[in-house]
Amino acid sequence: MFLALKEMRRAKVRFTLLMAAVGLLVFLILFQQSLQNGLITAFVGAVRNQSAPVLVYSVDGRRVIQGSVIGPELEAQVRDAVAGGRVGRIGQGTFTVTADDALSEATVLGYEEEGLGSPTTLVTGRLPQGPGEAVASAADEAAGFGVGDVVRIEPGGLEVRVVGLADDIQLNVAPTLFVAYETYLDAVRSRNPDAGTPPPNVLAVEPAPGISAGDTAALINAASDDLDALTRADAAAKTPGVAQVQQSFRVIFLLYGLVVPLVTGLFFLIVTFQKAPSLTLLRAIGAPAGRLVAALLVQVLLVVGGGLAIGIGLYAPLSVQRIGGITLRFETAAVIGWSIALLVLGTASSVVSARRVVAIDPAAALGGTGMDR
Amino acid sequence: MTVTDPHAPALRLEGVRKVYPMADGEVVALERADLTVDRGEIVALVGPSGSGKTTLCSIAGGILRASGGTIVVGGDDISGYSPKQLTAFRRRAVGFVFQTVNLVPFLTARENLLVVDEIGARTGAPARARADQLLEELGLADRAKNLPSQLSGGQRQRVAIGRALMNDPTLVLFDEPTSALDSKLGRQVMELIRSEMTARGIAAIVVTHDERITAFADRTVHISDGVLDA
Ligand SMILES: Nc1ncnc2c1ncn2[C@@H]1O[C@H](COP(=O)(O)OP(=O)(O)OP(=O)(O)O)[C@@H](O)[C@H]1O
Ligand SMILES: [Mg+2]
């Protein structure tokens, strides 16, 4: 500790700069982690946080709710396949609405029954109990989607009153309203009086007792080539675009995962080269190589640890902001995961320096003929 | 740890050889050196450049392995020691003042003494007391908090002497301790070495080119082309 700390104290600027650089990288990593999760949640939160364990799409729909149509024949096949379970309709559309006196786009999701497509957890209020009521995405509360606000579906002018709010129930990064199936049909008809009664987009399924969601999905898929049943988690993960977003971020994170240890590794290698005469002297007067390596490791851990503290310190206040319609969260799991990963990677990156330290020949301290350094 | 025999001489070299293998043959740096240094004795080692002075000191201090012969320091036969054992031996039994780099630049004068305790037993308070006492004796009490870059050449050399004495060694090896100093300062440093060694009964080998320095030694040994005169 003595050597490690004294050196850091005497070379405050360079060690502080490195710590700040690591801190900035940590901040960027964590911030992007929040951004990724926020983005995906805004994209498919409605799928992830609805109550049906299994969703059934038509194959034509390519796993997009709005693109899927379940005609009467397919619906009958599903009901047969899940005998003993429950099946409910879900309809979804994107509507132009007036909220807070302004026109905007909103997603309306109608579900037939509680437990079959309703939001799982409310932050306030209650689920819709009658026509013209809705649970809105909490992220859009300030934009005219708060409890008690009335949202008008244009151009028909159908009024929907917000009676509850739920976190993370947006679909396609738009304000989202969960309504009773009848209200959804009313909305469609108010926009287009000739619409009649459109078929549901997807079916929500609760498996029969004793059968898992995965098995239920498999049963349905076996029943017809035109049906595409997915568990809730799969439906969210396999929505087109989600995998691509995750893939892009994975590349970014991989780069960060390389840059951080590269920066610390190079820094400590340079420092080790620069202080080689001191290290040689210490070896010559009897310092075990292990003590010098330990001092190096202490410095690496302090720098990475300090960088993590700085990074998390910057990230914490910014992680609870909203950017546009995207809600950021303080991602505890990411903070812990990256902290461990960076400490391990940082330590690993100092292996080259540690090897230099171990390889130092104390005889090089002798100076004089043939040994001048 | 070996129990050091208090009556054994501080250093006994018998038939010590050092050969550096080179691409084109080999360099014989030391040829069958025999030398005994008694407890508390100060020996001046004088010889031209390249004659093997540093080589001899390094072997006596356990920094270099000899190619052959016996090296006994304070009763410990270190001839067959492994690198690890030699590291512990250097920490325990010898003090070094090197020809070139002697101080750690990012440690203060006092810390350059304390580092000896830090790389070893970590006794803490006794080491601090000893460092303060040595700095006092060396006239550096008011420079204790200075970094090497804030010290004069003579002051730096005195810090190095203090560092060499921190572990209460059997033998201190001074490799040209005055070569970077003018003759007046050189004499002062030699007087200091003389009085510190005598007061503690520590043996020393002082390497020098300068015949005038030998006046401070009990005995002068000459070396040329790796051969000691007896
Ligand atoms: N690492 C080495 N490899 C090869 N030859 C070496 C090495 N170190 C020293 N020598 C040779 O060994 C001989 C003795 O060197 P040494 O350093 O002991 O001389 P010295 O008496 O201390 O000289 P100076 O007064 O210049 O310091 C020299 O010929 C030198 O070139
Ligand atoms: Mg020399």
| CATH number for the domain harbouring residue B173 | 3.40.50.300
* Residue with CA at minimum distance from ligand 1 atom 24: B49
Which parts of chain A are beta strand (E)?
54-58, 86-99, 102-111, 124-125, 133-137, 150-153, 158-166, 176-180, 202-206, 227-231, 322-323, 326-327
Q: How far is A9 from chain B (nearest CA, A)?
A: 9
Please state the rounded mean pLDDT for residues B159-180. Answer: 92
pLDDT of res. B208: 87
CB within 8 Å: A2 and B102: no
Name the residue among B90, B114, B176 with its Cβ closest to that of A285.
B90
CB burial of residue B10 (10 Å; 0-12, 13-18, 19+): buried
- Residue B11 domain flag: no
Q: How many residues does chain B have?
A: 230
Amino acid (one-letter) located at A335: V
- Confidence tier at B223 by pLDDT (50, 70, 90): very high
Report CA(B192)–ligand 2 centroid distance (Å): 22
pLDDT of res. A372: 35
Phi, psi of A64 (to 5 degrees): -110, 125
- Residue B31 domain flag: no
Q: Is the dihedral of CA B76, B79, B80, B86 positive or negative?
A: positive
Tokens of B124: 């803490």
- Residue B171 domain flag: yes
- Residue B20 domain flag: no
Inter-CA distances, B204 with A128, A295, B128, B152, B194, Å: 95, 32, 24, 24, 9
Q: Contact A92/A201 with Cβ under 8 angstroms?
A: yes
Flag whether pLDDT at B44 surpasses 60.
yes
* Residue with CA at minimum distance from ligand 1 atom 27: A368
Q: Report the interhelical angle of A332-349 vs A351-359 (nearest 10°).
A: 30
pLDDT digits over A278-308, tens only?
Answer: 999 999 999 999 999 999 999 999 999 999 9
Q: Three-state secondary structure along chain B?
A: CCCCCCCCCCEEEEEEEEEEEECCEEEEEEEEEEEEECCCCEEEEECCCCCCHHHHHHHHCCCCCCCEEEEEECCEECCCCCHHHHHHHHHHHEEEECCCCCCCCCCCHHHHHHHHHHCCCCCCHHHHHHHHHHHHHCCCHHHCCCCHHHCCHHHHHHHHHHHHHCCCCCEEEEECCCCCCCHHHHHHHHHHHHHHHHHHCCEEEEEECCHHHHHHCCEEEEEECCEECC
Flag whether pLDDT at A369 surpasses 70.
no
- Residue B7 domain flag: no
Flag whether pLDDT at A319 surpasses 90.
no
Flag whether pLDDT at A227 surpasses 90.
yes
- Confidence tier at A235 by pLDDT (50, 70, 90): very high
Burial state string for B138-175 with b = 16 or more CB within 10 A and e = fewer than 16: bebeebbebbbeebeebbbbbbbbbbbbbbebbbbbbb
- Confidence tier at A218 by pLDDT (50, 70, 90): very high
- Residue B125 domain flag: yes
Helix (H) or strand (E) holding A312: helix A289-318
Check residues A89 and A195 and name the one with the higher pLDDT: A89
Q: What is the rounded CA–CA span in Å between residue B119 and residue B111?
A: 12
Flag whether pLDDT at A371 surpasses 60.
no
pLDDT of res. B230: 62
pLDDT digits over B69-83, tens only?
Answer: 999 999 999 999 999
pLDDT of res. A192: 87
B residues 38..67 contacting A (CB < 8 A): 49-50, 53-54, 57-58, 63-64
Flag whether pLDDT at B117 surpasses 50.
yes
- Confidence tier at A367 by pLDDT (50, 70, 90): low
Quote the domain boundaries for residue B45: 38-63+82-224
Flag whether pLDDT at B143 surpasses 60.
yes
- Residue B159 domain flag: yes
> In sequence order, what are the residues at sequence separation of 6 or more whose Cβ sits closer than 8 angstroms to the Cβ of residue A211?
A84, A85, A219
Q: How far is A369 from chain B (nearest CA, A)?
A: 6
Flag whether pLDDT at A123 surpasses 80.
yes
Please state the rounded mean pLDDT for residues A171-191. Answer: 94
> In sequence order, what are the residues at sequence separation of 6 or more whose Cβ sits closer than 8 angstroms to the Cβ of residue A217?
A54, A229, A230, A231, A234
- Residue B101 domain flag: yes
pLDDT of res. A373: 32
What's the structural domain count of chain B? 1
- Nearest by Cα to A320 from A50, A37, A24: A37
Q: What is the pTM of this model?
A: 0.85
Inter-CA distances, A330 with A23, A38, A196, A257, Å: 16, 10, 46, 20
Quote ipTM for the complex. 0.93
Q: Contact A166/A119 with Cβ under 8 angstroms?
A: yes
Residues on A contacting B at a C-beta cutoff of 8 Å: 2-3, 6-7, 10-11, 275, 277-278, 280-289, 291, 362-363, 365-373
Whole-number mean pLDDT of chain A? Answer: 92
Please state the rounded mean pLDDT for residues A252-257. Answer: 93
pLDDT of res. B84: 94
**pLDDT cut 70: percent of chain A above it:** 98
Flag whether pLDDT at B13 surpasses 80.
yes
